[in-house]
Amino acid sequence: MNAPHPPKVAGIDPTVPPPTHTVAPAPPAPEAGPAPDAPAGTPPPVTAPDAPGSLLQDRLAGWVSDLTTLHELTERMCRTSALDTALEELLRAGAALVGARRGLVVWEPGDGLGPRTTVGHGLGRADLGHLETVPREALLTSTADLLAEPGLDPRHREVAARLGYAAGHAVPLATDDARLGTAVWLYDEPAAPDEHHRHLIGRYLHQAAEHLALLLEVERTRAYAATLTGELLPSRLPRLPGVQLAVRHRTGPRGGGDWYDALPLPDAALGLSVGSVTGGGPGAVAAAGRLRASLRAYAVMEGEDPVAVLSDLELLLRLTEPARSATALFAYCEPAARRITLAGAGHSPPLLTGERRTEYAETSLSAPLGMLACWEAPSVEFRVAPGETVLLYTDGLLRRTGEPMDRAFARLRSAAASVPRALRGDPGAVADHVLATLLPGDTARGDEDVVLLAARFG
């Protein structure tokens, strides 16, 4: 009669041999007597006992192995800097610890503030879609054998058969203060981790949850900063005869103080402005919003005189925020005549690009706002040829190239000159081409904001 097979237990290595202390002890050796040729009265030789502490050494070796594994996995988790990447690493490490091939994390912060998402390991988007149809309570419950579960939800049974898994091990993700979600690992056959591996995954998730909680706060802070910045900028660009507008705005990690604006003015005129406040973070974002709102008011009252607009903005900044400085450029555009009058305060000059030329507009030099005793720089006036596009931008576009400013200016001009003829009729396509050429793959260095405002005159 064959001996019954031991139950299958999931773990890091299900083929690990049993520890040495479980092997049946060998029968005791017969007591040795004195050697045949030894003189009478000689005591028998003393045999060496088994190595003392072998059991303890085995246990210590196992503990060291577990600690090494946990250290390596925790170190990999701590090297992640984005929430999505960290969740993928958690699933990968957990699958190795519990011996599963697939798994998913249902990310649902207990405070209800989000973000809420589901990340899979070894599961495609269609697989995750099927799992989303399973009731959460049923999906996020450990089950060693789904087919043998008497009260299994019918939809869960159907999805399990479709995806080919027969068991699941669910572990909550939580810190001492907050619940973050649940991780579930799926087995192809009925199985469950033993007590040892449940302890390992528990220790790992305890450390991982603390790191995930920190990344969650970073993610929320960035989202709040992006929302705040977006609310302080125009929700849409105006539509005026004779001019087409497009803008591209990228916020840096800290949330910088770059802004832009496009404002319809009396007599079918258009006011365009870009600017940047020193510093970063919420303070700079709020300061940029105040300056932009003030500039709009000055532009409505005296927009045809850009010098007066920036002079008022300079006075406001010195009186209300003496510790800050800012750069700004304001252009008063007359689309029907294709005439632009502009003034700048410490800001980079606009770039004109078309089929026949790509060149920087000549602007008078001026110090940034907040650093002038009085306003002395005059405005400049120029005309735009039909079909040409004027590019207004912030210095972040140049700095994020990681090159010296003179080379960055040359690269920007080259990028604008290389716009294909078929794209020149669309200012959005022109802006996209310039960004893709100047900052390929968005792998640019630096944390500055980027603003690129394109105005094409017909």
User: What domains can you pick out in the chain, each with its CATH number?
Assistant: 67-227 (3.30.450.40), 234-457 (3.60.40.10)
In the structure encoding, which two tokens stand for residue 416, read together?
């604008």
Query: Residues 145, 147, 151, CA angle at the centre, nearest 5°?
Result: 95
The pTM of the full predicted model, rounded to 2 decimals, is 0.63
pLDDT (mean) for 310-316: 90
Percentage above 70 pLDDT, the chain: 85
How do residues 179-198 score in pLDDT, each as one tens digit?
999 999 999 999 999 999 99
Query: What residue type is 66 in one-letter code?
Result: D
How do residues 16-25 score in pLDDT, each as one tens digit?
333 333 333 4
pLDDT band at 369 (very low <50, low <70, confident <90, very high): confident
Q: Please list, in sequence order, all residues whose beta carbon lies within 8 angstroms of the beta carbon of residue 384, skipping any fewer than 6 positions away.
A: 338, 339, 340, 352, 390, 457
Phi then psi dihedrals of residue 9, to 5 deg: -125, 130
181 neighbors 106 (Cβ within 8 angstroms)? yes
260 neighbors 247 (Cβ within 8 angstroms)? yes
How do residues 67-86 score in pLDDT, each as one tens digit?
898 999 999 999 999 999 99
